[in-house]
Amino acid sequence: MNNTNSVEVNEQKATRHKRRKELINEFQVNFFTMRPFSTFPWDSLENEARSSETSEILENILHKTCLNPICQKSPPSLKYRRRFLMELVKLHEMLTADPLDVLYEALSELMCSQEENFCYKTYFLPTGDAVSLAENVALISQGTTGLVTWEAALYLAEWALENTEIFNNK
């Protein structure tokens, strides 16, 4: 009977670890593509944080987003990063009284920064590689509405990646 319990506990740990990894990945993908904050799995994060070490999962998300080398090289807009960090701070403060220095340091650094003319959206390919596209933060640029990623282009690229056989020998 002990062996069965041990196996069940290990399976539960593995499932929980996988779920946590998927949650962190979803935050990373949403962050780098600058998805609306309403599409982030905040409730799942809150549940995960309540059932484990709050600071640990928030710090993991922070390192996969704002402190990620991709963000240093090709950052989403400053306004977006500030709001994202403020959401993490709000969640952290709701769940625990212990400060998370790395979170507050990241936010304070952004509060002292100036917005750039360009920001980046980064997309992660199935291979694990990342592709960053520069976008103009202005709604209208040089008299046109260009310099932003079109959703249709994203769907076309996703379809092309899923149907590579069509492009073989072309």
pLDDT beyond 60 at 8: yes
| Residue 89, both tokens | 């701070």
9 pLDDT band, cuts 50/70/90, is: confident
Write out 54-76 in H/E/C secondary structure: HHHHHHHHHHHCCCCHHHHHCCC
Residues in the chain, overall count: 170
Query: Model-level pTM?
Result: 0.79
Residue 139: predicted pLDDT: 55
pLDDT in tens, 150-169: 665 665 677 777 777 877 87
| Residue 56, both tokens | 């640990």
Distances (CA, A) of 34 to 3, 71, 73: 46, 12, 16
Phi-psi region of 35 (alpha: psi -120 to 50; beta: other; left: phi over 0): beta
pLDDT in tens, 132-154: 988 876 654 444 455 455 665 66
pLDDT beyond 80 at 170: no
Residue 140: predicted pLDDT: 46
What burial letters (b/e) apply to 107-126, b meaning 16+ CB within 10 Å? Answer: beebeeeeeeeebbbbbeee
Residue 156: predicted pLDDT: 66
Distance, in Å, from the CA atom of 110 to the CA atom of 112, rounded to the nearest integer, reads 5
